[in-house]
């Protein structure tokens, strides 16, 4: 497999075999709670987020309720996730904007989502894909690293990686495929656990690149 399309086709097929089901790793019950959970996941783990959101959502699981919580109370609850001062302010501010500008509903466009405090393109992409079923390809550190390792992109930032992956994979596969790559990266092809000879896909790809720098990742995701 010497060409990018050949590598992409194998990866797409093999990951679908390994992960036929693609459950969303962040616990949520609707677009609003998913939005908050994704925002909290910046510089944190899904497991860490899932530990704090039950307490937060027990107090406020709608924008109307969340905007009434004091920022300091939000901050105290989400502190284990890191970056809690900024995240708490953003959660309070975006909740108020959802009520004032969107009738208490999470908007269904990238432009409107990315206009919310603390919401970048990656967060908006996750919400569009997983809450509304709109094809998107959110790129996190796992995807950025593996796309480089598997020679699907030479992008120096997540924007270029996203663009390259969208060209290589069928649009109708994007929403499941981005989760499958994340699952595989966590389970089989970790940053330090695979030198290009350990996991099945790296062996098949003939990938021996030992280091990838997940550049272009910002706190506003």
Helix axes 174-187, 4-18, angle to 10 degrees: 80
Of the residues 140, 164, 166, 167, only one is catalytic, namely: 140
Residue among 166, 174, 136 at smallest CA distance from 15: 174
- Residues 6 or more apart whose Cβ sits within 8 Å of residue 70: none
Q: Quote helix, strand, coil % in the chain, to nearest 5.
A: 60, 0, 40
Query: Looking up tokens 């987020």, which residue turns up?
Result: 49
Q: Measured between alpha carbons, how far is 175 from 186 in angstroms, rounded to an integer?
A: 18
Of the residues 4, 61, 65, 122, only one is catalytic, namely: 122
Whether 29 sits among the annotated catalytic residues: the reply is no
Whether 164 sits among the annotated catalytic residues: the reply is no
Q: Could you give the residue numbers annotated as active site?
A: 122, 140
């Amino acid at each position: 497999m010497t060409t990018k399309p050949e590598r992409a086709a194998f990866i797409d097929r093999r990951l679908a075999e390994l992960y036929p089901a693609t459950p969303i790793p962040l616990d949520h019950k609707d677009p609003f709670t998913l939005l908050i959970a994704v925002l909290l996941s910046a510089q944190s783990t899904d497991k860490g987020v899932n530990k704090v959101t039950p307490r937060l959502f027990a107090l406020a699981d709608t924008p109307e309720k969340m905007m009434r919580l004091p920022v300091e109370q939000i901050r105290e609850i989400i502190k284990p996730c890191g970056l809690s001062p900024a995240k708490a302010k953003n959660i309070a501010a975006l909740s108020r904007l959802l009520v004032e500008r969107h009738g208490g509903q999470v908007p269904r466009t990238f432009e409107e989502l990315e206009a919310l405090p603390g919401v970048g393109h990656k967060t908006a992409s996750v919400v569009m894909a997983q809450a509304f079923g709109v094809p998107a390809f959110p790129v996190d550190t796992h995807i950025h690293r593996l796309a480089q390792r598997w020679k699907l992109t030479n992008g120096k930032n997540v924007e270029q990686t996203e663009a390259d992956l969208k060209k290589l994979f069928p649009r109708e596969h994007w929403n499941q495929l981005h989760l499958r790559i994340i699952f595989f990266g966590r389970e089989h092809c970790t940053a330090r656990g695979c030198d290009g000879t350990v996991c099945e896909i790296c062996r098949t790809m003939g990938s021996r690149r030992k280091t990838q720098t997940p550049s272009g990742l910002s706190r506003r995701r």
